[in-house]
């Protein structure tokens, strides 16, 4: 079923690259979701990503109680592309601006706060510009803080204590979010196994006293909690069968290959915290500071409350089922005046 309000696909006039902007829902307020700039063998894979990720953003906003719906931008970069990135970002800004505020973008994989300045030359519907330019800046520290709050809650439910120093974690992906999560876990005294396809991240592993292993060994490590912090689609029937952890929670978006895989985890006795809940820290912080005029402290308090959202895992129902039901219930919200990005 096609449930999106609109999906725009445009060949960027400046860059020549395919620009996809998907608006899944504005029922609860302005659609929000980041701009992904990634290499796709076929631009249609980027279209699929935009469609899937924008729908997931609607769930994420609903679960976080935000007065917003879901959207996503994908700039589909062909393999071997060596051109300049700025024309493509400006092209994305033009398409976003034509939606007249139905959707506002922010950073995602492949883009950061500086890129929001470039998009912002064509539209005002942009979050997370650098702090010195009046935005809320890089969202990854808040996403990492929310992930650690989720991990404490998960450990409380699964192991009877939120004391992270008593637990072992396998962090897959030591990028902006995963690197900070691993550092915070190390500071809390946790035992850590880590991996990244980028060998340069090994230096961080050494700095925080984590054991560096291959991505395959990280996925199947015999630890208390696996923390997916790289790309989506990690949890499939085959990969779930190979897991040796007792719980899974991390910031990576769209971890399940299909909704039914959550029940496979549940049946194996592996507690999975749904990624739309775990990874919402960045969007909670950005919308709190930029839309609802919260102080930094108040916004971070809302991020920490992600742990409470996960308390539902204490019931016998799988957290995935609870998250889905809540998201569906919350989608019935009416638009509010708060759900609009402010003029920048």
- Residues annotated as catalytic are 72
Q: How far apart are CA 136 and CA 288, in angstroms?
A: 9
Could you tell me the CA-to-CA distances from 298 to 122, 244, 256 in Å, in that order? 31, 38, 32
- Minimum distance from CB of 242 to ligand NAD (Å)? 15
Residue linked to tokens 């300049």: 84
In the complex with ligand NAD, which residue's Cβ is closer, 158 or 176? Answer: 176
- Minimum distance from CB of 17 to ligand NAD (Å)? 19
In the complex with ligand NAD, which residue's Cβ is closer, 25 or 140? Answer: 140
- Minimum distance from CB of 171 to ligand NAD (Å)? 10
In the complex with ligand NAD, which residue's Cβ is closer, 177 or 316? Answer: 177
- Minimum distance from CB of 113 to ligand NAD (Å)? 11
Q: How far apart are CA 44 and CA 10, in angstroms?
A: 12
In the complex with ligand NAD, which residue's Cβ is closer, 253 or 309? Answer: 253
Task: Quote the distance between the C-alpha of residue 306 and its chain's center.
Answer: 14
Provide the edge-to-edge strand list for the sheet that holds 271-272. Answer: 211-212, 191-195, 168-172, 225-228, 247-248, 271-272
Residues near ligand NAD (CB under 6 A) are 109, 139-140, 143, 172-178, 195-198, 201, 215, 229-232, 251-253, 279, 282
Q: How far apart are CA 200 and CA 237, in angstroms?
A: 31
Number of residues assigned to the chain: 344
């Amino acid at each position: 079923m096609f449930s999106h309000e609109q999906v725009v696909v445009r060949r960027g006039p400046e860059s020549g690259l395919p620009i996809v902007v998907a608006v899944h829902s504005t029922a609860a307020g302005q659609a929000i979701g980041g701009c992904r700039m990634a290499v796709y063998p076929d631009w249609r894979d980027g279209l699929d990503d935009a469609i899937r990720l924008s729908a997931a953003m609607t769930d994420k906003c609903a679960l976080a109680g935000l007065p917003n719906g879901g959207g996503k931008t994908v700039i589909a970069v062909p393999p071997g592309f060596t051109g300049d990135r700025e024309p493509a970002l400006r092209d994305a800004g033009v398409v976003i601006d034509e939606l007249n505020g139905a959707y506002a973008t922010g950073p995602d994989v492949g883009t950061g706060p500086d890129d929001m300045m470039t998009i912002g030359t064509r539209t005002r519907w942009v979050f997370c510009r650098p702090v010195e330019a009046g935005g809320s800046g890089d969202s990854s520290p808040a996403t990492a803080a929310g992930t650690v709050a989720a991990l404490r809650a998960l450990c409380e439910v699964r192991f009877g204590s939120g004391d992270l120093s008593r637990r072992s974690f396998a962090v897959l992906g030591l990028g902006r979010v995963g690197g900070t999560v691993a550092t915070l876990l190390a500071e809390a005294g946790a035992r850590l196994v880590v991996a990244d396809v980028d060998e340069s991240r090994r230096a961080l592993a050494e700095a925080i006293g984590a054991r560096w292993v291959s991505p395959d060994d990280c996925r199947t490590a015999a630890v208390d909690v696996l923390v997916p912090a790289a790309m989506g689609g990690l949890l499939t029937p085959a990969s779930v069968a190979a897991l040796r952890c007792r719980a899974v929670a991390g910031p990576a978006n769209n971890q399940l290959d299909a909704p039914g895989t959550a029940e496979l985890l549940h049946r194996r006795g592996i507690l999975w915290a749904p990624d739309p809940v775990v990874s919402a820290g960045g969007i909670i912080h950005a919308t709190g500071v930029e839309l609802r005029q919260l102080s930094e402290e108040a916004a971070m308090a809302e991020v920490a409350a992600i742990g409470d959202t996960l308390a539902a895992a204490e019931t016998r129902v799988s957290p995935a089922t609870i998250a889905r039901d809540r998201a569906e219930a919350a989608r019935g919200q009416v638009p509010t005046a708060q759900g609009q990005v402010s003029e920048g």
